[in-house]
Amino acid sequence: MSALFVLGHMRSYSSLLCHLLGSHPEIDGYCETHIKYRSWFDLLRLRRRVVKLTGERLSGRYVLDKILHDYPLAGSIVRTRSTRAIILIRSPVPTVRSIMNMGLRYSDIPWYRDSDAVARYYETRLASLVRLADGLHTRAIWLAAEELLAGAAPVLTRLEAFLTLRAPLQSTYRQFAHTGEAGYGDPSEEISKGRIGAARASDAHILLPEQLVARLEGAHRWAVAALRERCESLG
């Protein structure tokens, strides 16, 4: 069984992607486990954690974890031939607005409501994803998050090929034990619909300073260019 990491940032449609992946019979797991990967032993912890979070025995070829923060991820695990990763990034303005909206509606974590703090998180996380891509090379593929909503079928087909899945990935997904619960992924009602839907602009009321937007867009352009150099694109 190989490790499959979805490496992204908060509000990057990572819960949607992980539910689509976790609904496939060859992939076990669907959410964040919050494991810190310091050694090979932690991959065994991942298997046990996924069994606990799903309430089901492992039966697939891949065991999945979603990582959205700069937790330790040992180089020995990143470089191993069996590890696969999907790197997921979303454009900065909708990302920052969505994190802040989550802070207002679903979370009491103070920095989620601070535009400067959220911007620093986004910039730092993009830089970390590029560093991880350095170690993963062709065992990673990157995806602009918006493409998952705009053209699901081609994206899913490319993911099937990348992961050498024997059956197609579907645009619908099942409900899991912690679907929609804060701490495990998207806490909004959208994730409980069981299918890919259109993006909603429920956070358009959150205004960001022009200077901050320009800075974030620069960081996003840099990350996209760097990922294009380091690993294959799903676009």
Q: How far is CA 144 from CA 23, 64, 92, in A?
A: 21, 20, 11
- DSSP line for 201-214: -TTTT----HHHHH
- The one-digit pLDDT tens for each residue of the chain (235 residues) are 899 999 999 999 999 999 999 999 999 999 999 999 999 999 999 999 999 999 999 999 999 999 999 999 999 999 999 999 999 999 999 999 999 998 888 888 899 999 999 999 999 999 999 999 999 988 999 999 999 887 788 899 999 999 999 999 999 999 998 998 888 888 888 888 888 876 666 666 788 999 999 999 999 999 999 999 998 776 5
Pair of tokens at residue 24 = 């496939």
Domains of the chain, each with CATH number or no CATH:
2-233 (3.40.50.300)
**Which one-letter DSSP state was computed for residue 169?**
P
* Helical residues (DSSP H) of 55-140, grouped into ranges: 75-79, 92-105, 115-136
Distance CA 152, CA 156 (A): 6
